[in-house]
């Protein structure tokens, strides 16, 4: 009898603790067979096992603790991994080991919104990137952020704030410290404002980065300023998406600037247990007076809530001096050469847990 009472007391205490705090293990494994023609300037083709055709492979831990009075504390540790080779290079990691470079934050949440500290997706990307119908992965993804700056998605040493929902209006802002004694390369400032009401969703985002990366017209220190307007409208039988983006580069000590204007029009439509995706994108590279056109088509078939089969085919048509590749296919394909085209096909499976 005493043992039963003790066991019940332990279970009750455990239940109370679990109600106050929780830790979740989560992840995605995405692998495919991919083929790309003109995988390099020599015109070679490439076929192999790729990754991240429908979602980025990852593994992570997140937790929340209820502090009472409507206040909660949490953490989020998320690392990319490469199921093709079994290492941790996917999702931004620089080495072969598992690194929590996708997200590594501690946060406080309440009626005031949410405050985050650490490495994370930047606020000027989180919401507006959702209007890419290919989810910023695979051959079909919109490449505006990819072309504009190295590591345009995430920021280390960042303080970010996200507002609560005010009748459909939400917003967020972030500041990334450069943590340098001299200079300010690596510093980030950005924000977004969004409105969601029924079938309509609209987001405006802007940011500024002090950079020391290769630019479209050469290599120099300076800054990059970007704004992006995205929106979608759900007609039930089909959902329409659009993105308009401009990145402007200002080089230190020089007048004038280089620009990259990017546009995308996409749609998704439910078909049985799956979804058809189609998107057209155009990249106007002012620095080299050249354009590239991208056409993508895909289908995702859901076998369950966690597992899906998918197929994507995309074509990048470069004009004049443009030398853009489809990238993001996970098989190491590069640029096709100036004025050359590239086509990619991937067939894969994605499982989440």
Q: How many domains does the chain have?
A: 1
In a domain, 274, yes or no: yes
In a domain, 54, yes or no: yes
CA-CA distance, 124 to 274, in Å (whole number)? 30
CA-CA distance, 107 to 118, in Å (whole number)? 9
How far from each other are the two terminal CA atoms of the chain, in whole angstroms?
40
CA nearest 228: which of 212, 211, 204?
204
Residue 302's contacts (CB-CB under 8 Å, 6 or more residues apart) are: 273, 274, 308
Residue 353's contacts (CB-CB under 8 Å, 6 or more residues apart) are: 25, 26, 27, 28, 306
Tallying the residues shown for the chain, one arrives at 353
Handedness of CA 11, 72, 92, 279 (dihedral sign): positive
Q: Contact 265/128 with Cβ under 8 angstroms?
A: no
In a domain, 305, yes or no: yes
Q: What is the pLDDT of residue 17?
A: 43
CA nearest 298: which of 320, 322, 324, 271?
271
Rg of the chain, C-alpha, whole Å:
22
In a domain, 7, yes or no: no
- Neighbouring CB atoms inside 10 A of 289's CB total 11
Beta strands (DSSP E) in the chain are 21-36, 46-51, 58-68, 71-80, 103-110, 113-121, 154-162, 169-176, 188-197, 200-211, 214-215, 218-219, 222-234, 239-251, 258-271, 274-285, 290-302, 307-318, 342-352
pTM above 0.85, yes or no: yes
CATH of the domain at 270: 2.40.160.10
Q: What is the pLDDT of residue 89?
A: 66
Q: What is the pLDDT of residue 19?
A: 46
In a domain, 178, yes or no: yes
Q: Contact 218/236 with Cβ under 8 angstroms?
A: no
Q: What is the pLDDT of residue 85?
A: 82
What's the pLDDT tens digit per position in 256-305?
568 999 999 999 999 999 999 999 999 999 989 999 999 999 999 999 99
What residue numbers bound the domain in which 258 lies? 24-352
Q: Which residues of the chain have pLDDT under 70?
A: 1-20, 89-96, 148-151, 183-184, 212-221, 252-257, 328-330
In a domain, 241, yes or no: yes
- Neighbouring CB atoms inside 10 A of 166's CB total 9
In a domain, 148, yes or no: yes
In a domain, 231, yes or no: yes
Q: What is the pLDDT of residue 253?
A: 61
Q: Which residue has the tokens 């980025």?
A: 56
């Amino acid at each position: 009898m005493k043992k039963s009472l003790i066991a019940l007391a332990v279970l009750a205490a455990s239940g109370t603790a679990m109600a106050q705090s929780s830790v979740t293990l989560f992840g995605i494994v995405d692998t495919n067979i991919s083929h790309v023609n003109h995988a390099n300037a020599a015109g070679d083709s490439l076929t192999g096992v790729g990754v991240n055709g429908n979602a980025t492979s990852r593994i992570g831990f997140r937790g929340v603790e209820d502090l009472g009075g409507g206040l909660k504390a949490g953490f989020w540790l998320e690392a990319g991994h490469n199921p093709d080779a079994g290492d941790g290079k996917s999702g931004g990691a620089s080495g072969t080991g598992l690194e929590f470079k996708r997200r590594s934050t501690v946060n406080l949440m309440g009626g005031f919104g949410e405050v985050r500290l650490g490495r994370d997706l930047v606020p000027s990307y989180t919401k507006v990137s959702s209007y890419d119908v290919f989810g910023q992965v695979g051959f079909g993804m919109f490449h505006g952020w990819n072309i504009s700056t190295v590591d345009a998605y995430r920021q280390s040493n960042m303080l970010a704030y996200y507002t609560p929902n005010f009748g459909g209006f939400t917003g967020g802002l972030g500041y990334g410290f450069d943590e340098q004694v001299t200079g300010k390369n690596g510093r980030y400032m950005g924000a977004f404002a969004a409105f969601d009401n029924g079938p309509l969703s609209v987001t405006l985002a802007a940011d500024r980065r002090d950079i020391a990366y290769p630019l479209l017209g050469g290599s120099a220190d300076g800054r990059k300023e970007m704004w992006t307007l995205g929106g979608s409208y759900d007609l039930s039988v089909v959902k329409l998406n659009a993105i308009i983006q401009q990145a402007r580069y200002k080089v230190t000590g020089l007048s004038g600037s280089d620009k990259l204007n990017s546009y995308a029009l996409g749609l998704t439509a439910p078909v049985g247990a799956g979804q058809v995706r189609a998107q057209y994108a155009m990249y106007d590279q002012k620095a080299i007076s050249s354009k590239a056109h991208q056409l993508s088509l895909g289908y995702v078939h859901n076998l369950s809530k966690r597992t899906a089969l998918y197929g994507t085919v995309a074509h990048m048509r470069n004009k004049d001096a443009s030398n853009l590749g489809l990238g993001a296919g996970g098989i190491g394909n590069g640029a096709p050469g100036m004025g050359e085209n590239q086509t990619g096909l991937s067939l894969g499976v994605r499982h989440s847990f």
